[in-house]
Amino acid sequence: MSITNLLENWSDFRQQHPSDDRPHREYKWAMSIDLDACTGCNACSVACYAENNLPVVGKEKFLHGHSHHWIRIERYWANDGREFADQGAQFLPMLCQHCESAPCETVCPVGATNHTADGLNSQVYNRCVGSRYCNANCPYKARYFNWYDYPTTDNVWPEPMNQQLNPDVTVRGKGVMEKCTFCVQRLTVAKSNARSEGRSVLDGEVQTACQQVCPTGAISFGNLVDPLAKVGKQWMTQQVDLNKDKQAKDVAEEAAKLRGYRILEELRTYPSVMYLEQLREGSI
Amino acid sequence: MGKDIREDIAWAQINKDVLKSLESPRRMYWIILFIAIAMIGVAVGSEIYQYQTGMGVSNKNNSHVWGLYIATFIFWIGMSHSGTLLSAILHLMHADWRKPIYRFAEAMTTFSLMTAGLFVLVHLGRLWMVYYVMPYPNERWVWPNFQSPLVWDMFAIATYLSSSVLFLYVGMIPDLAICRDNIRAGWRKKLYTVMSLGWEGTDRQWRNFRITYLTIACFLIPLAVSVHSIVASDFAMSNMPGWHVTSFPPYFVAGALYSGCAAIITLFIILRYVFKFEEYMTLPIMKKLVRLTFAIAMVWTYLNLIEFASVWYGHDQTAKDQLIFKATGPYAPFFWAMIFFGSILPLMLAFKRFQTHLPILFVVSILLNVGMWLERWMIIAPSFAHGHYPWTWDHDQWPSLVQWGIVFGSFGWFTLLFMVFCKVFPSVSMYEVKEMVYHRSLALKHKPAVKGEY
């Protein structure tokens, strides 16, 4: 990027707001999570640890909130007077929502977190200075900071466990922020393969680690631009629009059958993850 | 009301009194200096431990990523504002009662900015990469993110620090020349000779000096307002409930002037006692200072109430919950302490009896600053404990001793800088006090027909 390029294409320099005149051309990675299918088994979280070289910090640090679960299973109980065990928890897998208008991107002083052309919210570890402003401004608190130096001083992967680290993913040192990448290492390989064959990535050709292991198939992931993709069809069926901050489920009168929503949409973050509401006992 | 200063002080006497403060310090000075250095030692030790081990030892976590460092950073930035108020704004308004006290207030500005700057470094996860925040030419054309309020902060603080150092220095040149002429030899002689830039007090020099000083003063005022507005933008520009408040910039500026004025009262009393500056730092001046502090305290209280009211009557339920959480949750004792120290205690300053009672003022001014420090903490911490997302609730994070140690040490650092300044440079402006005495005695000669004070 030269200075002239910077000045001439200032509006292209950072895309903050999804807009119709600047649509994603080839890829827009998105996800949908069916909360009705989620059993809260945590397999997605474990798979993420294995795939993305997340440090297992141990009980004490976990209790201090220093954990690194890029996808975490949150448990919620209705406040209806029944015992917790009787009513059973509702589960919600929370990961970086890859917002189209991400609050974290605008506040980073060094531009370490950016939006890619594929609609990903990327994190550049080398550039991060650790001001943690991105986490402060993330309404989902889906960003995780390296509070300690896990690979070296904390020795999270002692010999020979370092052999199991994924060679495609960086091992992060202390003082940088990290978060879900939608398994960008897999996306890059898939795109590269597809490009060498002169086509786009097909639906199902690439899976995120969490999607791959989900025993109930609650997570679908794919390219929203691809009309054949399952995730796109789900978004379409649920009438969830990437560029709206209020979805049909909450607007239409006859929308009882619609379940799709995005979390904290009213903040106009335009997330790339759609959730399908859990079916309540009363509605079946 | 008595006189701000006696008109019959001889100019030589002023020189003598002020230069006496530069003489070899007494034992008490060394003891306090030693304590200050010990405090810095605590902070340095904590920082080394944190640097080596990782930010985790400060006991912040993934939903509470900011803590005392940022709160104390704002506190010190705020402290720096009154120096500018006293020296620049009151200078333009020809309020000459500021003359005996502006020098140390100006020094306070510089040193508290230097303290605040350290907190930026302490706060960063990778402080060895801090230069990434600066726009410097590099082969990959990677720039900082100019949208980020933290980058604005960097610019604003760097500009403010360099201009206030310049202002302090330029305003001191005639005094440095007096020092130079009154000291025979030694490192001081060399220092003052170099720093006084060959000042001889000619007409031309005075004329240039006046213009320069006035220009910097005019330049500094918008800067002072903008610095704390920009610090406020760190919060107002974010989307956290409790931070996303439009009235934050003026609120922060008022808070800054408030804590700065309170700190000036504290240092006023200390200097008056230690250096026996009773002739210059007089009670009528203190009275004016206290009234100024009271007025600013009320402005701050008003803006505080506006913030609460606009949240309360607004449509943002999350922000409202956040406010209720602040007032009733685990942070309630600190919140109410802030209201008490910040808004109720200063009501005392309205009474004439307390306006010149130095022991009471000393305690009150320190408590006011405790309140202002709590205010900054109450902006930062509760928003993390009760934000948009329920997962972050109930994660109560008490700052660890590492954080407290560094905050504690920062006061030692400030004390050290200030004490060294007081012994090396005249902490009362000699030439301006002479000016003040001269103007007052002129006025005495040509007494107006109407009875009254002037």
Is the Cβ pair B141, A143 closer than 8 Å?
Answer: no
The tokens of B388 are what?
């948009």
Find which of A260-264, B15-19, B80-84, B445-449 is predicted with most confidence, using mean pLDDT: A260-264
Residue A112 is which amino acid? A
Q: Is A86 exposed, middle or buried (0-12, 13-18, 19+ CB in 10 A)?
A: exposed
Say whether pLDDT at B453 is over 60.
Answer: no
User: Residue B148: which of A6, A67, A109 has the nearest Cβ?
Assistant: A109
pLDDT at B449: 55
Domain boundaries, chain A: 25-279
CATH number at A25-279: 3.30.70.20
Q: What is the pLDDT of residues B115-173, one digit of tens each?
A: 999 999 999 989 899 999 988 888 888 889 888 999 999 999 999 999 889 988 998 99
Q: Is A168 on the interface with B (CB under 8 A)?
A: no
- Max distance between CA atoms of chain B, in angstroms, equals 74
How many helices (H) and strands (E) chain B has is answered by: 17, 0
Q: Which residues of B touch A151 (CB under 8 A)?
A: none
C-beta separation of A166 from A52 below 8 A: yes
- How do strand A273-276 and strand A72-76 relate by DSSP bridges? unpaired
pLDDT at A17: 57
Confidence grade of residue B357 (pLDDT, cut at 50, 70, 90)? confident
How distant is the Cα of B76 from the closest Cα of chain A, in angstroms? 19
The tokens of A220 are what?
């679908």
Please state the rounded mean pLDDT for residues A121-141: 92
> What is the rounded end-to-end Cα distance, in angstroms, of chain B?
11
Residue pointed to by tokens 């879900």: A180
DSSP code, position A158: -
Q: Which residue of A has its CA nearest to B57?
A: A147
CB contact residues (below 8 A), chain A span 184-223, against chain B? none
Q: Which residue of A has its CA nearest to B130?
A: A129
User: Which range marks the domain in which residue B153 is found?
Assistant: 11-436
The C-alpha atoms of residue B367 and residue B338 are separated, in whole angstroms, by: 10
B249-285: buried (b, 16+ CB within 10 Å) or exposed (e) per residue? bbbbbbbbbbbbbbbbbbbbbebbebbebebbbbbbb
Say whether pLDDT at B227 is over 70.
Answer: yes
pLDDT at A256: 67
Q: What is the pLDDT of residues B71-84, one digit of tens each?
A: 999 999 988 887 77
Helix (H/G/I), strand (E/B), else coil: A75: strand
Q: Which residues of B touch A174 (CB under 8 A)?
A: 54-55, 125-126
B84-102: buried (b, 16+ CB within 10 Å) or exposed (e) per residue? bbbbbbbbeeeebbbbbbb
Say whether pLDDT at B225 is over 80.
Answer: yes
Say whether pLDDT at A15 is over 60.
Answer: no
The tokens of A33 are what?
């999570």
The C-alpha atoms of residue A127 and residue B395 are separated, in whole angstroms, by: 29
How distant is the Cα of A201 from the closest Cα of chain B, in angstroms? 30
CB contact residues (below 8 A), chain A span 106-125, against chain B? 106-111
Greater pLDDT, B22 or A55: A55
Instruction: Report the candidate in B244, B247, B241 with the shortest Cα–Cα distance to residue B321.
Output: B241
Q: What is the pLDDT of residues B388-420, one digit of tens each?
A: 988 888 666 788 899 999 999 999 999 999 989
The tokens of B250 are what?
């003026």
Predicted TM-score (pTM) of the model is 0.90
Mean of per-residue pLDDT scores for chain A = 87
Angle between helices B358-385 and B317-328 (to 10 degrees): 130
Is the Cβ pair B54, A149 closer than 8 Å?
Answer: yes
Instruction: Report the candidate in A83, A70, A55, A34 with the shortest Cα–Cα distance to residue A149.
Output: A55
User: Residue A132: which of B53, B65, B130 has the nearest Cβ?
Assistant: B65
How distant is the Cα of B303 from the closest Cα of chain A, in angstroms? 24
Greater pLDDT, B453 or B274: B274
Give CA angle at B213 (B207, B215), nearest 5°: 105
Residue B236 sits in a domain whose CATH number is 1.20.1630.10
Say whether pLDDT at B447 is over 90.
Answer: no
Confidence grade of residue B454 (pLDDT, cut at 50, 70, 90)? very low
The tokens of B238 are what?
């974010």
The C-alpha atoms of residue B319 and residue B311 are separated, in whole angstroms, by: 6
Q: How many domains does chain B have?
A: 1
Nearest 10 degrees: CA dihedral of B395, A138, B339, B354?
Answer: 120
Greater pLDDT, A178 or A253: A178
Q: Which residue of B has its CA nearest to A135?
A: B65
Greater pLDDT, A94 or B427: A94
Greater pLDDT, A102 or B439: A102
For B68, B254, B262, the CA distances from B71, given in Å and listed in that order, are 5, 16, 18
Residue B253 is which amino acid? V
pLDDT at B85: 75
* Residue B117 host element (H or E): helix B102-123
Q: Which residue of A has its CA nearest to B148?
A: A107
For A146, B188, B429, the CA distances from A176, given in Å and listed in that order, are 6, 47, 48
The C-alpha atoms of residue A48 and residue A180 are separated, in whole angstroms, by: 9
C-beta separation of B295 from B355 below 8 A: no
Percent of residues, chain B, with pLDDT higher than 70? 97
Q: What is the pLDDT of residues A199-253, one digit of tens each?
A: 989 998 999 999 999 999 999 999 998 888 999 999 988 888 888 888 888 877 7
Confidence grade of residue A22 (pLDDT, cut at 50, 70, 90)? low
Please state the rounded mean pLDDT for residues B439-451: 68
DSSP code, position B130: G
Percent of residues, chain A, with pLDDT higher than 70? 91
Q: Which residues of B touch A64 (CB under 8 A)?
A: 56, 59, 61
Interface test with A, best of B126, B130, B230, B396 (most A CBs within 10 A): B126
Lowest mean pLDDT among A133-137, A276-280, B371-375: A276-280
For A182, A218, B374, the CA distances from B332, given in Å and listed in that order, are 40, 42, 11
- How do strand A29-34 and strand A219-223 relate by DSSP bridges? antiparallel
Contacts of A178 (CB under 8 A, 6+ apart): A68, A70, A123, A125, A143, A144, A145, A146, A172
Say whether pLDDT at A20 is over 80.
Answer: no
Helices within B183-282 (DSSP H only): 187-195, 203-236, 248-274
pLDDT at B396: 66
**Does B264 reside within a domain?**
yes
pLDDT at B90: 79
Instruction: Report the candidate in A284, A253, B14, A250 with the shortest Cα–Cα distance to residue A275.
Output: A250
Instruction: Report the candidate in A141, A45, A43, A35 with the shortest Cα–Cα distance to residue A91.
Output: A35
The C-alpha atoms of residue B241 and residue A103 are separated, in whole angstroms, by: 14
Q: Is A3 on the interface with B (CB under 8 A)?
A: yes
Is the Cβ pair B237, A107 closer than 8 Å?
Answer: yes
